[in-house]
Structure 1
Amino acid sequence: MASSAAGDPSADEPVTPAGRLFLQPEMNQIINCAIGFQNPINIDLIKSTLQNSPLLSNPRFSSLLVRDSDGREHWRKTPHVDIDRHVIVLHEPLTTSPVDHETAINDYLAELCTGTGLPADKPLWEFHLLMAHKCGVVRIHHALGDGVSLMALLVAGCRRAGDEVKIPTFPGKRNRASKEKGWWAMVNGFWGMMWFSLIFVVEFVMRSLWVCDGKTEISGGDGVELWPRKLATARFRLQDMKLIKNSVPDATINDVLIGVISSGLSRYLYHRDPNGLRDGTRMTGIGMVNLRREAGLQELSDLMKENSGSGWGNKFGMMLLPVYYHKSGGDPLAYLRRAKAMLDRKKQSLEAHFSYAIGLFVMTYFGAKVASWLNYRIVCHTTFTISNVLGPQEEITLGGNPITYLRVNNSSLPHALTMHMMSYAGGADMQIVAAKDIIPDPVFLAKCFEEALIDMKEAVAAIHRT
């Protein structure tokens, strides 16, 4: 970590409490966003596009991370960003083995999950160009912002395919038709919020201190963040997910996603050991929840406004998401109904807001080490991480080169399994990052998730036929 740097020290800006958390050794996190290109990559055009994009106008991307004499982290504006130091070009294929591009790229991303961090003598981001695979990998330290902030910044530098003037559409929260509610329903809603908040907050605190999941074939734990990784991609069609969610009143895409996770994990664990788990065994996930007023991407100008309800940075909370092992067979849509019932209670509570607030409180009054220790324990006491980021609704281009896919993952955690889904132009790719000594076959796990969605779709079709 740099102790001094070019720039005016008197203008240093303190790193936010959430940003400081992601700089601690136990929770040090780098976001990796893989961008697939349709055509060969033009290096000079990419550099020129980055130089003139909103990326460098954001002060976080043109500032160095420094520490003062007390060890506190600050951002220090640097007068010049050398774009050549941030664009890392790999001309040769990633492997000489006869593997497909996706496997080679996923292997590269898996190495980045446990590899070296970003150098502190330059702003904490890089753009790796994998020329032989027509892929770019944007690496951004989580201290700079969360997935919504970073995706908005990245997409703001892109244009719609077929129209190089228009910026991409930013999906946001859809306003549902409001329903007339009597005073009794409002009272019930208030007490429901208070009751569920109390239950989930108590559970959250207990998870931080001593309660943990039972051991399964996919359990991680203390030190697993250092283990080598494998990475696989599960692909879904948003049209299929929407068809399935419409089969259950008021269901959402997230309900479908958690239902698919529950079903897919059950399939996978049954394959690993048909008699290894009793029916109903709980596996707890950590879900990342965007706390901005809008659910999806926002215009970059809105994110950068002071005192905005959207706001730049790390503005997300955590929810504990219990899913349960069930042996194969039965109604595929039962997983969706159970997921919806659980998430409805979670959304009625203030659990995600509490997790964000308590994190700020602990960081402010007890310091980064205590906050990092508590977050590390929560991860060690649960089974997996899941996040879902909404990407552009239509196809986009970067430097005039059409983008074929957007995928995201981050540095390793004590979990043996992390999953990050990102939607783009009618599809949704979920990156499955697994500790390979615990989950040696993440490609098969990806197939379990894909087959779970197909079974749900067929179940919906069967209902429509009857």
Structure 2
Amino acid sequence: MALPASDTDEPLSPTGRLFLRQELKQEIYCAVGFKNPINVEAVKAAIQASVLLKHPRFCSLMVHDRHGVEHWHKTSVNLDRHLIVIDSLVSSSAADDESAVNEYLADLSIGAGLSADKPLWEIHFLMAHRCIIFQVHHALTDGTSFMSLLLSVFRKASDLNAPPTIAPLRKKRSMAATTIWEGIVRKVVVLWYGLMLGMRVLWVSDRKTAISGGDGVELWPRKIATARFCLEDMRIVKRAVGDATINDVFSGVISSGLSRYLDHRTPKALQEGHQITGVAMVNLRKQPGLQEPSDLTRSKSLLNWGNKFGTILLPIQYKRCGPNPLEHVRRVKVTLERKKKCMEANFAYKARNNIMTYLGAKVAGLVTYRVLSNTSLTISNMVGPQEHVAIGDNPVTYIRALIVHMLSYAERADMQILVAKDIIPDPEFLAQCFEDALVEMKEAALATIVESS
């Protein structure tokens, strides 16, 4: 859509422009399940009363000016145009609600996408399955900002007049160098990771395994499965490893679960230590938690809005089941600590923006696509509401997002696993491998705690 630029139009961020590339079309899908049948009018009322319809990005069209530059152009929002109500999924062969919702999400993820003649978001109501799906173009925002905004739609399940509690924002630990020598070492390591990233773009690729894709895999039919975790189990593992984070445990679960899955699919085909590379998303905001929804439309908060994330290359080593499953967490923890200190995610973020600015969207799209093609999976996780919430007077039973993505809600965490079904025909078994990995880690952690006490 071509419109003359005006004083009120805002240019898209470099990352936002990148996500508009056809080969990198990215949308956020967030599924919210309910305890009771959905009242569409109650959900509409909650949305109209929320910050969502007041936020500039959710009230803007993505347009091109006469020079072809993308801008956000403020417009009025007709909420009904953004709501898609589906009474029943006639074509679905799923045996239960979860499978039906996952099947719908899988089809949606390779569909035509969002129409550019309205702001780039929609809400799908799957009435028969008591679920609504928020579909938001990644050019608008990343998952952290969107989850903060979504909190304005929720209310506490225990007090329907009160908004959800937001955990106090904490500052990230400073990784500043304390000596000249440490500063020199950091710069050398950053250059090394830059070289590694460049080699990924040009020729270095993961060796083929049972989970490797092929040309055009982003267009292949997909399947989705869900792995469920208890956050307290993760905390037990975290305490046993020492100075670990939930993110370390999550990454360790992926390492252990993938090893289990590959043992099942191709027993004895891989050598011990075979490396599988994941592209992990890292939130780069100074305060990593969720923001107060009411702050998101203020000018200062808009600086934290958008796609404020970098990426790291996370090596995952294939290991056959051994006597101590906690080694997966310890090994990943060391890797993540090293990558934090050298600020690899910040380097990747700045490099991506500089390529977009100086070489253009086509080159940046090609570089990003090559990195994704030469690795095996993408990984992300995000904090959600800490307590049970509701929309209207209908309690929310789960909140889930896509890719290999873990999203916490109250005292549970669900991992959504999106795969090409011709490559991984049994994602349900892969999900079970991840769940079994955490159970085994918890048992080992409890044994460690007992021995040390």
For normalisation by structure 2, the TM-score amounts to: 0.94
Q: Give SS of 1:56's match.
A: helix
Residues 1:89 and 2:85 are matched in the alignment:
yes
**Structure 1 pair 172/344, CA: closer, same or farther in 2 (3 Å)?**
farther
Kept in 1, the 8 Å contact 2:26–2:137? The answer is yes
Deviations 1:89-108 (A, max 9, x none): 00124556460110010000
3-state secondary structure, aligned to 2:241: coil
C-alpha RMSD over aligned residues: 2.2
In 2, distance between residues paired with 1:96 and 1:234?
21
1:456 aligns with 2:441: yes
Q: Deviations over 1:258-295 (max 9, x none)?
A: 11101000000010011211111100100100000112
- What corresponds to 1:446 in structure 2? 431
Write the distance in 1 (CA, Å) between the matches of 2:27 and 2:105: 11
| 1:231 Cα offset (Å) | 0.2
Which letter does structure 2 place at the counterpart of 1:83? L
| Closer, same or farther: CA 444–172 of 1 in aligned 2, 3 Å | farther
Write the letter of the residue equivalent to 1:407.
R
Secondary structure of 2:113's match?
coil
Distance 1:177 1:343 in 2: 14
SS of 1:44's equivalent? helix
Q: Which amino acid aligns with 1:38?
A: K
Corresponding residue for 1:354? 347
Q: Could you say what secondary structure the match of 1:451 adopts?
A: helix
Q: Give 1:201 shift.
A: 2.2
3-state secondary structure, aligned to 1:156: coil
The question of 1:156 aligning with 2:152 is answered yes
Aligned AA (2:322): G
Does the residue aligned with 2:53 lie in a helix, a strand or coil?
Answer: coil
Contact 1:293–1:310 (8 Å) recurs in 2: no
* Pairs aligned (count): 451
How far did 1:242 drift? 0.6
Q: Secondary structure at the match of 1:203?
A: helix
| Residue from 104, 113, 116 that aligns with 1:108 | 104
Tell me if the contact between 2:154 and 2:164 (Cα under 8 Å) persists in the aligned partners: yes
Does residue 322 (structure 1) correspond to residue 315 (structure 2)? The answer is yes
Task: Give 3-state SS (helix, strand or coil) of 1:143's partner.
Answer: coil
2:35 alignment partner, one of 32, 35, 38:
38
Which of 120, 123, 141 aligns to 1:127? It is 123
In the TM superposition, residue 394 of structure 1 has moved relative to its aligned partner by 0.5
Opposite residue 382 of structure 1, the aligned amino acid is T
**Structure 1's 186 and 310: CA in aligned 2 closer, same or farther, altered over 3 A?**
farther
Aligned ranges 1:414-429 → 2 under 5 Å: 418-429=403-414
Q: Is the 8 Å Cα contact of residues 232 and 442 (structure 1) preserved in structure 2?
A: yes
Give the one of 162, 167, 171 matched to 1:166: 162
- Residues in 2 aligned to 1:119 and 1:175: alpha-carbon distance in whole angstroms: 38
The 2-side partners of 1:177 and 1:285 are apart by 24
**Separation (CA, whole Å) in 2 of partners of 1:95 and 1:11:** 45
Aligned AA (2:163): I
2:74 equivalent among 72, 77, 85: 77
Q: Which has the higher mean CA deviation after the structures are superposed, 164-173 or 271-280?
A: 164-173
2:289 match = 296
Secondary structure of the corresponding residue to residue 299 of structure 2? coil
Give me the whole-angstrom Cα distance separating, in 1, the residues matched to 2:140 and 2:440: 40
Q: Structure 1 residues 364, 460: CA separation in 2 closer, same or farther (over 3 Å shift)?
A: same
Checking the alignment, whether the CA contact within 8 Å between 1:292 and 1:310 is kept in structure 2 is: no
> 5+ unaligned residues in a row in structure 2: which ranges?
none
Separation of aligned partners in 2, 1:126 and 1:33: 11
SS in structure 1 of the partner of residue 139 of structure 2? helix
List alignment gaps of at least 5 residues for structure 1. Answer: 410-417
Secondary structure of 1:270's counterpart equals helix
Amino acid at match of 2:85: V
Residues 240 and 449, structure 2, Cα contact 8 Å, conserved in 1: no
In the alignment, residue 193 of structure 1 is paired with which amino acid? Answer: R
CA, structure 1 residues 317+94, in 2 after alignment: closer, same or farther (shift >3 Å)? farther
Q: Residue 49 of structure 1 corresponds to which residue in structure 2?
A: 46
Is the 8 Å Cα contact of residues 389 and 423 (structure 1) preserved in structure 2? Answer: yes
What is the CA–CA distance in structure 1 between the aligned matches of 2:90 and 2:276, rounded to whole Å?
Answer: 36
Identical counterparts, % of pairs: 52
Please tell me the residue identity of whatever aligns with 1:461. L
Deviation at 1:173, TM superposition (A): 5.5
For 1:266, the equivalent position in structure 2 comes to: 259
Q: 2:133 — aligned with what?
A: 137
Do residues 385 (structure 1) and 378 (structure 2) align?
yes
AA aligned to 1:31 is I
Contact 2:55 2:296 in 1 (8 A): no
Asked if 2 retains the 8 angstrom alpha-carbon contact of 1:171 and 1:392, the reply is: no
User: Does 2:228 match 1:235?
Assistant: yes
Give the CA deviation at 1:308. 5.1
Contact 1:19–1:142 (CA<8 Å) still a contact in 2?
A: yes
Change beyond 3 A, Cα 1:172–1:377: farther
Partner of 1:22: 19
Letter in 1 for 2:408: S
Answer yes or no: is 1:12 the counterpart of 2:5.
Answer: no
Partners of 1:145 and 1:159 lie apart in 2 by 22
